[in-house]
Amino acid sequence: MTSDGQPRESIQLQDRPSHSADDNSDIANETFSLPPVDEGRDAWLCLFGCFIIESLVWGFPASFGIFQEYYTSHDPFADHSSGIAAIGTTSLGIIYLSGPLMFGGLAYWPHLRKHATYAGLLCMTVSLIASSFANAVWQLLLTQGVLYAIGGSLLYSPTVTYVDEWFVRRKGLAYGVMWAGSGFAGASIPYLMSWVLDRWSFRTALRMWAIVLVLLVLPFLHFTRPRVPVNAASSAPRPRFSFSFLKSRLFIIYSLGNAVEGLGYFLPSIWLPTYARSIGSSNTIVTATLALLNASAVLGCIVLGLVIDRTHITTAILLSTIGALLSVFVFWGLASSTGMLLAFAITYGFFAGSFSTTWSGIIKEVMASKPETHPSLVFGFLAMGRGIGSICSGPMSDAVVRMTSSSARSKQGYSSDYNLLIIMTGVTAAVGGLSWGARRFTWV
């Protein structure tokens, strides 16, 4: 986007050098024939396709808690369970960490976006089938963790650039709807996987998901396309990337809060099913904790997207932070029943699950202070910061739980083996609101 709110691609087409009046006429016709932003059949179909891809790419690793509970209690992994928690967070983390490389590359070579989606789908399918043959934790980490993430990044990254092209005034809402996809899938996939795991095995579940992935993604790839034709975008001047925003105090504060929040955000999605099992919950409740956590994020992303379009971004960040903070320290920390645990899943999913929706507002703020900045780079580095938190949170949380484990300890809230985990989740959520405090002191 440019500072005057016009789509970047159409401006580039108008500014492209030409050699004759006829050439100028052709360029003008090409520019003004572009479909409208923020409305129309093509824009909404593209957004729906992006929603589906978001759901399938992110929903599976976001539901890893169900697999973790299974792996730690079934052969051939039960006796060597150390490191299992890192599988889900590694998968999520790599997708996030690849942000600067993927978004920068796709901005420079936009004609590769469609090829990337098909390559990503193939890589994800291969990873799931390969992981179904695993007999050791390191094999799961390599396939279900690393290889899946590489494919997911290739499939998912182009969709973010498509939404940026199709939506301008409603960008916050559009990204909120798209990112609600992971919550939507995260609410349904746990039940599906739990059902398959109970009746067959993880091998059947992974092979089945590979088939589902292909059958659902392929039809929607037709709708997920750029607003600017590929040949026009490819012939437009290459973007000049400026990294000066990385040194700005504004971006440093926003990205620091984002990275620390990401360090704790993934902990409940990893450990809630295991925690619920430890307090004697039934299979239904175990699955419901993760499903409700993800389902409430759907509504949270859409609501916060609307807030971002109408208020300053730090207000939206504060709303997410306060809600997440209270849900952790009250509902989870003081949980004395499964009812309070489910209340935590709902409130935490709504407020913390929508935090990444604030990225569209952060990008707008960064570009206002550094107009030469390409939005794809800002998005990529925000994703990378969250990815660092995701990758670290798996092994770190595993070590924290093992360190505090005691057979004599009570099983609930702050008195349980998960007491430090609860505190860490709450503290990192609080740091996520750093930018709001910085704005109060006029640091940003």
> Is residue 14 a part of any domain in this protein?
no
Q: What's at 185, amino acid-wise?
A: A
Any long-range contacts for 209-212 (C-beta under 8 Å, 24+ apart)?
A: 209/60, 209/128, 210/124, 210/125, 210/128, 210/129, 210/132, 212/56
Q: How far apart are CA 334 and CA 355, in angstroms?
A: 24
Q: How far apart are CA 304 and CA 302, in angstroms?
A: 6
Query: What is the pTM (predicted TM-score) of this model?
Result: 0.72
Which residues make Cβ contacts (< 8 Å) with residue 348, sequence separation at least 6?
A: 268, 293, 296, 324, 327, 328, 331, 332
Q: Containing domain of residue 295, as a range?
A: 39-440
CA 275 from centre of chain:
23
Q: How far apart are CA 178 and CA 58, in angstroms?
A: 11
> Is residue 6 a part of any domain in this protein?
no
> Is residue 108 a part of any domain in this protein?
yes
> Is residue 90 a part of any domain in this protein?
yes
> Is residue 19 a part of any domain in this protein?
no
Classify each residue of 254-284 as buried b or exposed e, where b means 16 or more C-beta atoms within 10 Å of its C-beta. bbbbbbbbbbbbbbbbbbbbbbbbebebeee
> Is residue 28 a part of any domain in this protein?
no
φ, ψ for residue 167 (rounded to 5)? -130, 135
Count Cα atoms within 13 angstroms, Cβ side, for 181: 22
> How many separate domains does the chain show?
1
> Is residue 30 a part of any domain in this protein?
no
Per-residue pLDDT of the chain (444 residues; tens, 9 = 90+): 433 344 444 333 333 333 444 444 444 444 447 778 777 788 889 899 999 998 889 888 877 878 888 888 888 887 776 778 788 878 888 888 887 888 888 877 888 888 999 999 999 999 999 999 998 888 999 999 999 999 999 999 898 888 888 888 888 788 888 878 877 887 788 888 888 988 898 999 999 999 999 999 998 888 888 887 766 555 556 667 788 899 999 999 999 999 999 888 888 877 888 888 888 888 888 888 888 888 898 888 889 988 988 899 999 999 999 999 999 999 998 877 888 889 999 999 999 988 988 988 999 899 899 888 888 888 889 988 888 877 788 788 888 887 876 654 556 778 777 888 899 999 999 999 999 988 888 777
> Is residue 372 a part of any domain in this protein?
yes
Asked if the bond preceding 76 is cis, omega within 30° of 0, the reply is: yes
The CATH number covering residue 51 comes to: 1.20.1250.20
Q: What's at 206, amino acid-wise?
A: L
